[in-house]
Structure 1
Amino acid sequence: MGKEKLPEGWKILPIGKCVADDLSGFACSQNKLVEEGGYVQLRPFNIENGKLNLDTLYQVPLDIVDENKYYLEKGDILFNNTNSTELVGKSAIANERYSFAFSNHINRIRLDTDVVLPQFFHSYLSYMWAKGHFAKHCKKWIGQSGYTLTSLKNQPILIPPIDVQQEIITKLEKQIAEIENIKKEITIQELKINQIFEGYLSSVFKDLKDFSLEKKIKDFCENPQYGYTVPASKEKIGPKLLRITDIQNNHVNWDTVPYCNCPSEKYSQYELKNNDIVFARTGATTGKSFLIKNPENSVFASYLIRLKIKDENVLPEYLYLFFKSPSYWNQILKHSRGGTMPNFNATMLGNLKVPIIDISMQHKIINHSNGVYELYKQLADINSLQSIAVNQLPESILNEVFSKYEIPEKV
């Protein structure tokens, strides 16, 4: 199907013609950050799903910031110019005024609102990102990619009359709001599904208390081991490097796990083997575990902790079930402060208590749990497919708005 001609009054301009002012951010190393009394400096992780995520804010010393220069007005666009290939080019729109600076990996774009409305401009950037423009045209280095503001300004943008832009924005916002409501329903379903398996494990390990021997993990496992500190690479320069982010929904897609440079002496120290159990020791998934089965040639990264069982009377599958149970999480939460999950460390892990039972009973629990888990997994997979479909809707909506017209690569 051919592209439609532009309606009367519509035009195609270089993005630079829409920009009234732009400003690059500045660098500040981690060791110069301050905990309080500083000036907030946004980082790329604060740009999430087209919005500003202010859950985690870094502060830089006041004396390195020109407060008359570094701030955000309502409608300012933040463009992430340097990141991993799949994330470079993401953007967010400021929904109010903020006294915030931003790192050198971010550009602030202030628009000429007589030409383009900020919400429309941001929707177009989101369309470019979803279509893979930035990933395709960015400059790639080892571990990161860049897309300059100059390159962005040279790209064409579709510009309808202001009243038509507003109509498009209103339509998009209504559809996005409907999608967000569906996402909330899916999240509620996910919580209910998770409660099925959690409830089962809770009853299993609660019933074991009367005829089990409680042992600390350090009594039947080798000393917990922190992972290997090394940059990840998409190039096949060595073994694969398993990271926290590679473990999703109790699964690892080894095809997408990056590689790393790992000398032979380090490889023998950090090689992942069958029945290893790894734990996230920091971040949003702190304390979550994963049982390694049939791993590829790989090592584990520094934000993971590895556990190896040394007692043949403890089955790894049984121990892994315990690490999914409320009995395990209740011990972890005792170390939390004000509801905040602590950093998970080797000492804490080694001192956790596990109910140890006869190995024949461990086998029975594992076999029965597998049946319950299959039911749980079927429900979870259905919910996951619904979530994937819903998450693709914003891209479909943007595609419907912007892809029907012929837009040249250059103007």
Structure 2
Amino acid sequence: MNELNCDNWTSVKLGDVAFDINDRVANPSESGYECFVGLDHLTSGDFTIRNWGSTEDVTSSMKLFKKGDILFGRRNTYLKRASMANFDGVCSGDAYVLRFNPELLVDGYLPLILNSSELWDYTNAHSAGGMSKRAKWRDLANFEFYLPSKEEQRRIADILWAAEDVIVKNEQFLAEAEHYKQLMMRELFHKGIGHTEFKEDKKVGVVPVEWEIKKLSEISSIKTGPFGAQLHQSDYVNSGTPIITVEHLGKYGITNNNLPFVSDEDKNRLFQYILKEGDIVFSRVGSVDRNCLVSKREEGWLFSGRLLRVRPNQDKITPRFLTNYFKHEDFKGYMKKVAVGGIMASINTALLSNVHIPVPSVNEQKQIAAILTQIDETIAAARETIESTKALKMKLINELLSPHLE
């Protein structure tokens, strides 16, 4: 892109270029509009709305929005949610419906303004409330920024929407790759590789005749994390040995965000809860299907009392085969079904010990794991592309929309 011409940029307020629309729909389920958008459907940084619900069960009055309007999350503003609708529908009253002023803005430029760091810094500084900070339109309308000519707006919008298009396409590819992995797991965990004869087992379904069916306790050891009497949150320190909690069981592995730590003295005291590479940690409360494989990075860390540790007997079962089986939709559905309790469902060592696992030969386990690992590597590459493109997009928003501040 050629150097931007900043000579004709003018200072304006958000209220000059956007209108707050307050049209209402009394009975959304009978209105003819099919799509309902709540704040949970909005994702930080997304220029467009990609998720929505149905109006079928929406009985109270809602705001009306039209294609091209931007829904701006006015509650919990630290989540930075502002996305454009590509369809008509209704939305929660916790969102502002903003419509661009065509006399001053080109189509597609308002979402860029509303996703800039400068706008969100201003919004959070002018939001009120305690646990759930809210923004008021009268404050947002006074946000001042520099606005280029429409010609420059179009040039900037073309660049940033091209980056958005790359993100959307990669997210679609990622979803397809994840779906393909589930299909492959269903095939591999029921038919294996190269088998022609199968048997029906009431615990695991159809599997090759040669495969054994084992209780998890027969092929691994299972241990619950330290209970409150052994470890309290007050024992946590600012540095030392990390402790993995339920919050660190991510979709794609163990995360290291905001890890708590314990001292070397406490680590020695809790030596029986030290993790090894190849262990698998399970959530035992709440989302009982959440589990992650412990990598070399996490070896020597501890796990918390709300987790269970599965340590595979690697002479009988390989960690990568077992952790992939735990990610299989059939297994996840089974865990949710057998968990005890209501809203806070839970599992324990006894329940997990009695889970039945199909066990191929170790060689076939390695072959199955290798196939799924290749898919995982494709998924990881797509995720990396998405994250790097998102970072580039935000960098460009802040650079291209505020050239006077350089």
TM range (shorter): 0.5 to 0.7
Instruction: Name 2:65's counterpart in structure 1.
Output: 72
What is the distance in 2 between the residues matched to 1:295 and 1:205? 39
Report the Cα offset of residue 78 of structure 1: 1.4
What is the distance in 2 between the residues matched to 1:296 and 1:59? 48
| Paired residues of 2:167 and 2:389 also in contact (CA < 8 A) | yes
Query: Unpaired runs of 5+ in structure 1?
Result: 26-35, 261-270, 337-342
Instruction: Name 2:115's counterpart in structure 1.
Output: 126
| Paired residues of 1:244 and 1:280 also in contact (CA < 8 A) | no
Q: Does 1:52 align with 2:54?
A: no
Q: How does 1:8-407 map to 2 (within 5 A)?
A: 8=8, 10-21=9-20, 42-48=37-43, 49-56=46-53, 62=59, 64-65=60-61, 70-83=63-76, 85=78, 88-103=79-94, 106-117=95-106, 119-128=108-117, 133=121, 137=125, 147-162=135-150, 164-166=152-154, 168-170=156-158, 172-174=160-162, 176-177=164-165, 180-181=168-169, 203=192, 210=209, 213-217=212-216, 242-243=245-246, 246-249=249-252, 251-254=253-256, 256-257=257-258, 274=275, 275=279, 277-278=281-282, 287=289, 289-292=291-294, 294=299, 296=301, 299=304, 306-308=307-309, 318=318, 321-325=321-325, 328-330=328-330, 332=332, 346=347, 352-355=355-358, 382-399=381-398, 401-403=400-402, 405-406=403-404
Report the Cα offset of residue 177 of structure 1: 3.3
Report the Cα offset of residue 298 of structure 1: 5.7
Measured on the aligned residues, the alpha-carbon RMSD in Å equals: 5.7
Give the direction of change, closer, same or farther, for the CA distance of 1:209–1:145 in structure 2 (3 Å limit). farther
One-letter identity of the residue aligned with 1:324: N
Which has the higher relative contact order, 1 or 2, with Cα contacts under 8 A spaced 6 or more apart? Answer: 1
Report the Cα offset of residue 12 of structure 1: 1.4
One-letter identity of the residue aligned with 2:356: K
Residues 62-113 of structure 1: CA deviation (Å, up to 9, x unaligned): 3x42x6xx2113332211233384xx2220112233133333xx22224433
| Paired residues of 2:48 and 2:85 also in contact (CA < 8 A) | yes
The aligned length equals 352
What is the distance in 2 between the residues matched to 1:42 and 1:373? 36
One-letter identity of the residue aligned with 1:214: I
Give the direction of change, closer, same or farther, for the CA distance of 1:316–1:377 in structure 2 (3 Å limit). farther
| Paired residues of 1:331 and 1:352 also in contact (CA < 8 A) | no
Identity of aligned residues (%): 10
Report the Cα offset of residue 187 of structure 1: 6.5
| Paired residues of 2:36 and 2:90 also in contact (CA < 8 A) | no
Report the Cα offset of residue 124 of structure 1: 1.5
Report the Cα offset of residue 54 of structure 1: 3.3
Residues 3-35 of structure 1: CA deviation (Å, up to 9, x unaligned): 977333x3111212333335599xxxxxxxxxx
Report the Cα offset of residue 162 of structure 1: 4.3
Give the direction of change, closer, same or farther, for the CA distance of 1:141–1:335 in structure 2 (3 Å limit). same
Describe the SS at the equivalent of 2:96: strand
One-letter identity of the residue aligned with 1:93: M
One-letter identity of the residue aligned with 1:252: I
One-letter identity of the residue aligned with 1:215: K
One-letter identity of the residue aligned with 1:79: F
Report the Cα offset of residue 376 of structure 1: 7.2
Report the Cα offset of residue 119 of structure 1: 2.0
One-letter identity of the residue aligned with 1:247: G
One-letter identity of the residue aligned with 1:390: T
Report the Cα offset of residue 46 of structure 1: 0.9
Report the Cα offset of residue 354 of structure 1: 0.9
Report the Cα offset of residue 321 of structure 1: 2.5
| Paired residues of 2:37 and 2:53 also in contact (CA < 8 A) | no
One-letter identity of the residue aligned with 2:282: V
Please give the TM-score of this superposition, normalised by the length of structure 1: 0.59
| Paired residues of 1:224 and 1:350 also in contact (CA < 8 A) | no
Please give the TM-score of this superposition, normalised by the length of structure 2: 0.59
What is the distance in 2 between the residues matched to 1:83 and 1:386? 28
Instruction: Name 2:269's counterpart in structure 1.
Output: none
| Paired residues of 1:50 and 1:93 also in contact (CA < 8 A) | yes
Name which of structure 1's ranges 176-185 and 115-124 shifts more when overlaid on structure 2: 176-185
One-letter identity of the residue aligned with 1:177: D
Report the Cα offset of residue 406 of structure 1: 0.9
One-letter identity of the residue aligned with 2:325: S
